[in-house]
């Protein structure tokens, strides 16, 4: 089972992997498939190019045989050409979409055919030409560990298997003296060690780069989240989580322009808690804050449509914008709001003496006006409601 905490999104886990990389070049199960996908996409062009390069290498060898090895037997040449036809099929596959995700397996099959062709030609050629092929197999080693982009673990086992096959062919080839077999082995082993050494550290660096890139993405995501939270905090009131005064004005101006363009009504409703300071003296600041939060929840529930804005406009004042709402709609809204307040808020014993004043303005924007006219009229309506003794509602248009 994969540990959900040990994944590509865990900063500490990735940092630990970067500081203490696995010697066997294998990430945990939660990350290894992602690395393989990254490796394939990064080196896809080079892996496809290596198929062409390997095919050209074998083709050049066959052409040189025709010119420089007059005693060549035609049968092994034909057999090699048959292998080349299979390699052509693999080459066509390498440039198809099906190659993606199967690159390593395909390349292992391809280099195995390349090694088989070179070894078969070396075995069948007469002296001294076969020596060129046996030494030429070293080129295939270097091709496997550098150009083909076969990963280290596969390279290691592939070269090990090839080494045993190589020595079996050398042992049954009676054209070689003992010292020649030792020389071929020395060249093969030296090339394998140097090639694998380079391949190991190259892949190790690629894996480290992959982790660094993942860590960089996480850092950027963390910074973006922090910036979003900061941006949200600049838009909202910390106590009620409603829009604050500044953000409300920005949205009001935007909605005013939209309503002006489409000529539909806007209603601005302002609500003030009558004698909040006296309530705080009697019940304490904490109860006052709780009252504000309860009111905010009720007001927010009323302004749920797209474009509606509910804000804490001041210490004891709320402002709400309702799009597409005319004068009659504003009266209905306040009636429903008062009913909701009576059911969910004012039934609390501490809130029995709490009253609210409502002032509203409903109008269709005109080109000769700005949104300030809506604010001034709503504020005037609220002032009139409060001077009439509070606990009232006045609406202008």
Per residue in 144-197, pLDDT (tens digit) is 888 888 999 999 999 999 889 888 888 887 766 677 788 888 888 988 898 899
CATH superfamily of domain region 245-396:
Reverse transcriptase/Diguanylate cyclase domain (3.30.70.270)
The two tokens of residue 397 are 């248009």
H/E element holding 355?
strand 355-363
Q: What is the pLDDT of residue 2?
A: 41
- Gap between the Cα atoms of 251 and 256, Å rounded: 8
The reported pTM is 0.61
- Gap between the Cα atoms of 20 and 117, Å rounded: 42
- Domain locations along the chain: 11-218, 245-396
Per-residue CA distances from 347 to 192, 273, 351, 355 (Å): 86, 16, 7, 12
Comparing CA positions, the residue from 16, 15, 10 lying closest to residue 30 is 10
Distance in Å from the first CA to the final CA of the chain = 66
Per residue in 226-248, pLDDT (tens digit) is 777 766 667 888 888 888 888 88
3-state secondary structure of 234: helix
DSSP annotation string for 83-115: HHHHHHHHHHHHTSGGGTT-HHHHHHHHHHHHH
Over range 12-25, report the average pLDDT.
84
């Amino acid at each position: 089972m994969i540990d959900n905490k040990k994944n590509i999104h865990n900063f500490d886990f990735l940092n630990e992997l970067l500081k203490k990389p696995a010697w066997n070049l294998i990430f945990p199960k939660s990350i290894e498939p992602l690395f393989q996908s990254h490796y394939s996409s990064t080196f896809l062009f080079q892996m496809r190019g290596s198929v062409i390069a390997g095919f050209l290498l074998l083709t050049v060898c066959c052409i040189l045989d025709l010119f420089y090895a007059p005693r060549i037997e035609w049968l092994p040449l034909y057999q090699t050409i048959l292998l080349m036809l299979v390699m052509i099929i693999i080459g066509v596959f390498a440039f198809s979409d099906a190659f993606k995700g199967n690159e390593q397996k395909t390349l292992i099959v391809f280099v195995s055919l390349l090694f088989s062709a070179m070894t078969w030609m070396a075995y069948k050629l007469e002296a001294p030409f076969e020596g060129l092929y046996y030494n030429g197999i070293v080129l295939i080693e270097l091709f496997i560990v550098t150009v083909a982009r076969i990963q280290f673990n596969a390279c290691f086992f592939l070269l090990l298997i090839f080494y045993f096959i190589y020595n079996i062919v050398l042992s049954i080839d009676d054209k070689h003296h003992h010292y020649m077999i030792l020389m071929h082995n020395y060249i093969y082993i030296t090339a394998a060690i140097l090639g694998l050494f380079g391949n190991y550290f190259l892949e190790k660096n690629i894996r480290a780069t992959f982790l660094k890139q993942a860590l960089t993405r996480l850092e950027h995501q963390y910074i973006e989240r922090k910036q979003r939270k900061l941006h949200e905090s600049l838009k909202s009131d910390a106590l009620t989580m409603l829009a604050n005064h500044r953000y409300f004005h920005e949205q009001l101006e935007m909605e005013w322009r939209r309503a002006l363009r489409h000529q539909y009504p806007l209603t601005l409703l302002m609500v003030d808690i009558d004698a909040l300071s006296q309530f705080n003296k009697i019940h304490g600041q904490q109860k006052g804050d709780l009252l504000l939060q309860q009111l905010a929840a009720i007001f927010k529930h009323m302004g749920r449509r797209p474009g509606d804005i509910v804000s804490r406009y001041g210490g004891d004042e709320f402002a709400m914008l309702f799009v597409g709402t005319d004068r009659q709609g504003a009266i209905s809204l306040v009636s429903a709001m008062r009913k909701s307040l009576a059911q969910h808020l004012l039934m609390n014993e501490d809130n029995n003496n709490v009253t609210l004043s409502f002032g509203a303005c409903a109008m269709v924007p005109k080109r000769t006006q700005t949104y300030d006219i809506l604010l001034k009229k709503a504020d005037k309506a609220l002032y009139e409601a409060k001077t009439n003794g509070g606990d009232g509602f006045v609406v202008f248009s």
